[in-house]
Chain A
Amino acid sequence: MAGYALKRLMTEYKELTTRPPEGIIAAPIDEDNFFEWECLITGPDDTCFANGVFPARIVFPQDYPLSPPKMRFTCNIFHPNIYADGRVCISILHAPGDDPTGYESSNERWSPVQSIEKILLSVVSMLAEPNDESPANVSAAKMWREDRQQFEKIADSLVRKTLCLPASEL
C-alpha cells in the first residue's frame, strides 16, 4: 500500500518540479520521508493576500491517494476557512462521507483523481474568495463580513511578515 502511495507521490513531485504552476511550489521536507511535504503558496493578485508567500505543510496518509492529505499553514494566517492553528478547512481535503460543516457537495470532495497541485490551487482560490458560510475561524469570518477594512489591514501585516518586511502601522 505504502509502495503505491510512494510511487504516486514521486510522480507528483516530478510533475510539480518540472512544471511548477504559477505561484506554487512544493517538495518533501526530507527526502527520506515522502509523506511530509512543505509548500509555498503565493497570495492571489488583487486580493488582500496578494504577494504574500505563505508556507504550509502537507502530511499524507499511508494509503494516499485513497485518503486525503492534511494541510496546515506554518505561518500566522487570519482567514475564515483556516483554523487558528493553521489547519486548512476546504472541501477538497475531506473524504466524501465525513462532512464537518454540512455545506459541501460531494463532487468537490477528495477523490484519488485529485492531486497536490489541485489542492494547492483550491487553497489559492480559497484565499481569494473566503467562504464565510462554514467558517473555521469564526472571528475572521465575522471581521470579513463586518469590518473588511480591518481584515485587509491584518492580512496586509501577515503578507509583510512572510516577505521579511517590518510590520507597518499605516
Chain B
Amino acid sequence: MAENLQIDEILNQKRIGDVITKAFAIFFFPLGLILLIIRCFIGVHAFLIACLLRKSNRIRSIVMRFMCCVLGIVVRKFGERDESAQVLVSNHISILDHLAIDLISPCFLPSIWDIPTVIRWCFGYVDLGASRGRSELVQNAKKLLAETRGQPILAFPEGEITNGKRALLKFSTWAFEISDVVQPISITVSRPVPWNFSVSRIAASWLADLVLFFAIPATFINVEYLPKLTRNEDESIDEFALRTAQTIATHLKIEVSNFEPRDVAEATKRWKRDQFERRNQAGNSLSSGSSGNRLQNDRQLDECAMRIKQSHPSFHLSLIREDLQKTRNQAATITNLKLGKIPKDLNPNLDGKINLDPSSWKSIFSSRKWQMIEENRSKYLQKDGAFVATYLYDLYHSYVNRNYDFENFVEQLVNIDWEKIIRRSVFSGKCLIDLLKIIIKIRKGVE
C-alpha cells in the first residue's frame, strides 16, 4: 500500500510537462488545427459506421479499428483474451479506454456515468440501472451475462481517470460481485515523443480530451490482457478486488492507493478553486494596480464589513456586507455608503418560514449572524447609555445634596471627560436632552 501519497500525484496537473513540449506545441498548433478539422469530418463517418454495424460484428471491429487509426487512435493488443472470464476489469486513464477495449473484444459497458442516451445507444452501452443502486446493477449484470453468452462486461472499478503513473485508486467491488472469474486488463497510453501531451488532466472535460486525441497525429493505446483471476473460496469480495488491483498495479509497476473517486472529486474542486483564485489575482494585478487590495474570501469580507461598521455605525451590517460582496473593495463600499447608494435600514425579511432546502440555510446563517451582532450592539449601547444617564442622575443628586450649589455643579460638568464619553460613542442625542432637562430644572430651581 502506498503510504503518504498525495492525491495530486495520481492526477495530471498539466497537459504539458516540460518546456520543449511547450515550445513544440506552439509550433505545431496550426498543423494540429488542420488535422483536427479533417478528422472531425472523418469522425462523423466513423460514428455512422458505429451506429449502422451493431456489436459483435467482425466487420465492424475491423472497419472501426481502421477508422480509429485514421483518427489517430491506434489500439494495440497484447496478451490473450480468455473467453471463460465474463468480466473484464481495467484501470482507467483516458476517456477512450472503453472504446479501445471494445474494438478488440466487443463488450458491454454498464453506463454508470453521465452520458447522453443517444451516444449510449450508438456505442451500445447498456443501462443496468446503476442509478437505482448497486444490488440492482449486479442483478441486471448477471441477468445480461446469462442471456448473451460470449460478450463480457467491462468495468472500470477505479471510477475516475488517473494518470496511471503513481498509483491506482481503490477498486470498487461491484464488478467482483457479478462473477468470481475476472480478467484484468492493464491499459497504457503513449504518444510519439514531440507530442508529449497528457491524455487527460484534472478537471478536464471529455471534449477537450477528445479534441487533443484528434489534433495529435497518433496516440497509442496499449491494451494488455492479463491472465484471468479466480476468487478463492475463503477470499472476501474486498480481498479479491484488492488482489486484482494489485495484479494490475504490479504489471504497471505502480502501487494501489486508498483514494476513492470521492477524493478525486474533492481534488478537482480544490484545483478549480485554486485556478479561479489565481486567475482573479492575475486579473487584479493587471487591472487595478492602484485601488489594489481586492478582498478574496468570505472571511476577509466579514472582517472588512465590521471595520466599516465601526466608522459608519448607522448602516446595518448585513447591508454593508451585501455591498462588499459586489464591490469586493473597502474604499468602493465606503463611497457607496457616502453617496447613499445603500439603504440605512434592513427590510425585515428574516423571520419567515425556514426553507427545507439545506442550500438556503447558509444564507439564513449569515443574515442571523449580522442580525445577532446588530441586536447585541444596540443592547450594549443601551446599557452604556443607561450608564451615562445614571451618571447624570448622580450628578444632579450631588447638586441637590450640596445645597443647590450651581457653581459646583457646573464645575463638575466641565470636569467630565466629555471627549472620552463621546469617543466611547455612548453619548447619544437622548443623553444630551437628559442633560439639558437637568440644567433647565436646576435653572428653574435657582430662579
Q: Which residues of A contact B (CB under 8 A)?
A: 10, 13-14, 17-18, 20, 23, 25-29, 31-32, 40, 42, 50-53, 159-160, 162-166, 168-170
Contacts and interface: CB of A to CB of B under 8 A. Distances in A.
B134 interface: no
A51 B372 contact: no
Q: Which of B361, B377, B380 counts the most A-chain CB atoms under 10 A from its CB?
A: B380
A31 B359 contact: yes
B309 A164 contact: yes
B444 interface: no
Contacts of A166: 310, 423-425
A95 to B, nearest CB: 25
A113 to B, nearest CB: 24
B269 interface: yes
Interface in B345-391: 354, 358-359, 361-362, 364-365, 368-369, 372-373, 376-377, 379-381, 383
Nearest to B354: A18
A168 B298 CA distance: 28
A164 B365 contact: no
B354 A163 contact: no
Contact of A27 (B354, B361, B372, B423): B361
B424 A159 contact: no
Contacts of B368: 20, 25
Given A17-B364, A51-B383, A164 B359 contact: no
A28 B359 CA distance: 11
A51 B369 CA distance: 13
A165 B311 CA distance: 9
Contacts of A26: 365
A163 B358 contact: no
Interface of B: 269, 298, 306-307, 309-310, 313, 317, 354, 358-359, 361-362, 364-365, 368-369, 372-373, 376-377, 379-381, 383, 420-421, 423-425
A77 to B, nearest CB: 15
Nearest to A33: B266
A40 to B, nearest CB: 6
Contacts of A31: 358-359, 362
Given A13-B358, A165-B310, A165-B377, 17 more contacts: A25-B365, A27-B361, A28-B362, A31-B358, A32-B269, A40-B372, A50-B380, A50-B383, A51-B380, A53-B373, A53-B376, A163-B376, A163-B380, A164-B306, A164-B307, A164-B313, A166-B310
28 contacts: A14-B358, A17-B364, A17-B365, A25-B368, A27-B361, A27-B362, A31-B358, A31-B359, A42-B372, A51-B376, A51-B377, A51-B379, A51-B380, A51-B383, A53-B372, A160-B380, A163-B373, A163-B380, A164-B309, A164-B313, A164-B373, A164-B377, A165-B310, A166-B310, A166-B424, A168-B424, A170-B420, A170-B424
Contacts of B309: 164
Contacts of B365: 17, 25-27
Contacts of A20: 368
Contacts of B369: 25, 40
Nearest to B361: A17
Nearest to A20: B368
